[in-house]
Every structure is written in structure tokens, then in C-alpha cells.
Structure 1
């Protein structure tokens, strides 16, 4: 991910509903969630949810697959990895032990 893509991803996440959607999709993992269910879970109207999902997809943070008349959304972990990689590039001035708490937090809090 480059600087422009990173700024787009951060801008997408800087809105409350989109951040909630992204975090929800990260939480549900590989099974993803249908667009309607995302909206219901977060209490967001369909047209508003559709716009927010589009912004997140364009930023490379989520992906979707069509299932009949429904669309299922997933966190795009490659996009997340790219974003975090860009933000953490050259981390800690050559002292990798300083990054360990951050890495531990990213790996399910272990």
C-alpha cells in the first residue's frame, strides 16, 4: 500500500458508521455478513449502509461476493495488512522489541 491508498483507507475509517462496519466484519471473520444483516446489526438504513460499504470497498478494506440476490461482505485482510504494513514500516528505529506489544495486540491480544 502506498501513501495515497493509506490516506484513502484512513479517510474511509474516519467516519463512525464505516469504522463500526469495518470492526464488525473483522470480528465475524471468514464467514462475513450479508449487507442487510450488517445494517440491522448496526441500526443503519439500507441506502446509507450501501454508501458506506462502497466507500470501504473502494478503500480496499472490505470485499464482497454475490450470493443470489444478496451480497456478503468480508474484511479484506490483505488490505488491512497493507495498511498496517505501511503504518508500521521501518518501525521502532531498528529496535524490533519495541514493536512486540503492538504485534501482540494485533494477534488476538495474545
Structure 2
């Protein structure tokens, strides 16, 4: 990921509705959610939502796929992972123990299958 992609992704998330949309999509992984349902859940007019989804899609953070008459949107978690890795790639100046609290806080929200099965 390069600076231009990072700036595009962060810019896309730097707006309240788009951030709400992205967080909603993350919570509906892996199935995604239809655009009309996103509009209903967030109480956003359809045309306004369409504009926000376009910005998120162009940034690479969201992907839409047509299913009959609706478009189901999903968070692009791989792109989000790359964004997060870019942001923390030089974390803690070579002192990994300083990053341990960050990693520890992320693990409970996204347990791996092995952790979830224990």
C-alpha cells in the first residue's frame, strides 16, 4: 500500500456517515448487507448513501456485488488490513513490547478459529 492509497482510505473514513457504513459492514461480515438495508439501519437517504458507498468503493475499503435487484456491500477486510499494517509498520521503534497492548486489545474483538474453539 502506498501513501496515495492510504490517504484515499483515511479520507473515505473521515466522514461520519461513511465511517458508520464501514463499521456496519464490518459487523456484517462475511455475508455483507444490501444497500437498502444499510440506508434503513443508518437512516440515510438512498441517494446520499449511494454517494458515500461510491467514495468507500473507490478507496478500496468496500466492495459491492449485484444480487438480482439489489447490491450487497461488504467491507474489504484485506484492504483494511493493509491500511492498518501500513499505519503501524514502524510501530514502537523496534520495541515490540510497546505494541503488545495494542495487539492484546485487538485479539478479543477478532478471535481466530483456534481461539474461538478453545
Using the size of structure 1 for normalisation, the TM-score is 0.94
Structure 2: unaligned runs, 5 residues or longer: 112-118
In 1, the alpha carbon distance for the partners of 2:103 and 2:29 equals 19
Q: Runs of 4+ in structure 1 displaced over 6 angstroms?
A: none
Cα deviation per residue 1:45-95 (whole Å; 9 max; x = unaligned)?
000000000100100111111101110001101110111011001211111
In 2, the alpha carbon distance for the partners of 1:105 and 1:13 equals 21
| Pairing of 1:17-96 with structure 2 (within 5 A) | 17-96=17-96
Using the size of structure 2 for normalisation, the TM-score is 0.88
Structure with the larger RCO, 1 or 2 (CA within 8 Å, 6+ apart): 1
- For the aligned residue pairs, the C-alpha RMSD in angstroms reads 1.2
Between the two proteins, the alignment pairs up a number of residues equal to: 110
What's the counterpart of residue 106 of structure 1?
A: 106
In 2, the alpha carbon distance for the partners of 1:34 and 1:70 equals 6
What's the counterpart of residue 14 of structure 2?
A: 14
Structure 1: unaligned runs, 5 residues or longer: none
